[in-house]
Amino acid sequence: MYKLAVFGNPIEHSLSPTIHTLFAQQVGVKVQYTKELAPIDAFTESAANFIQKGGIGFNITIPFKIDAFNFATQHTLNAQTAGAVNTIKVDGNMIIGENTDGTGLVNDLTKNLGIDLSDKTVLILGSGGATRGILLPLLQQNPARTMVANRTASKAIALANDFAKYGKTCGFGLEKVKSERVDVIINATSASLSGKMLDIPNSVANGAICYDLMYGKATPFMQWAKKNNASKVVNGLGMLVEQAAAAFEFWTGKQPNAQAVIKALND
């Protein structure tokens, strides 16, 4: 029996228990996967208590991904470059921190949507934690260039510089987004939460694959993309399931069928 959980605050909305239960049924293992509401100022105590009671791994969501990074005693390269952890595995005395967000996004784009990212031009909107979490796996797909645009240009430039050794990337302010065509646009901002669309040229969406990291509803970004002739408009449900699949394999060594779970959640 794998004793697993997801930590967050709030946490009631989480689909993780459903997803991981379906994974476990697929591969024939038993899991006990619970939602853990950690107090805002007590993640470390909550996580340590879960481990003390036999927990062997857990996911971490908002607002504890940096707390989880600090809690881990070892970090994967994904976690190191992201500066945040969304998956922890307990291995003896080691607490290993991983970040599966970027892997989840790339697997959804390449495996589920059939998009070859090599030699493509990718535009990422936003330079916060979500972008930092996805940049390394994206750059490992060898796109022609990856551009990061943010309201505060200096943040985008600094982030691009941090990842320059992993691939061709650059950063600039949102006002510098040109009308030129790109292959993929990824919305990694929190604008969708506030029901707003960023001020960028409408023509940049024309023919592009537009991907919003958010899921659950048609966001202003997705509506903008459809209105402006995007070739494909996608929400982040596939990424959610794929990052969970990567975490499940990290814990159990077994690779589940993410596509079947995505289909089940969409039905």
Tell me how far apart the alpha carbons of residues 121 and 173 are, in angstroms, rounded to a whole number. Answer: 17
Spatial distance between the Cα atoms of 72 and 87, rounded to a whole number of angstroms:
10
- Give CA–CA dist 158/170, Å, rounded: 9
Residue 104 has φ and ψ, to the nearest 5°, of -65, -45
Other Cβ atoms less than 10 A from the Cβ of 87: the count is: 28
| CA distance to 39, 151, 162, 202, 236, per residue, from 8 (Å) | 9, 28, 28, 36, 19
d(C-alpha 10, C-alpha 25), whole Å: 27
Catalytic residue, chosen from 65, 89, 168, 178, is 65
User: At 142, is the secondary structure helix, strand, or coil?
Assistant: coil
| 65 has catalytic annotation | yes
Which residues are catalytic, by number?
A: 65
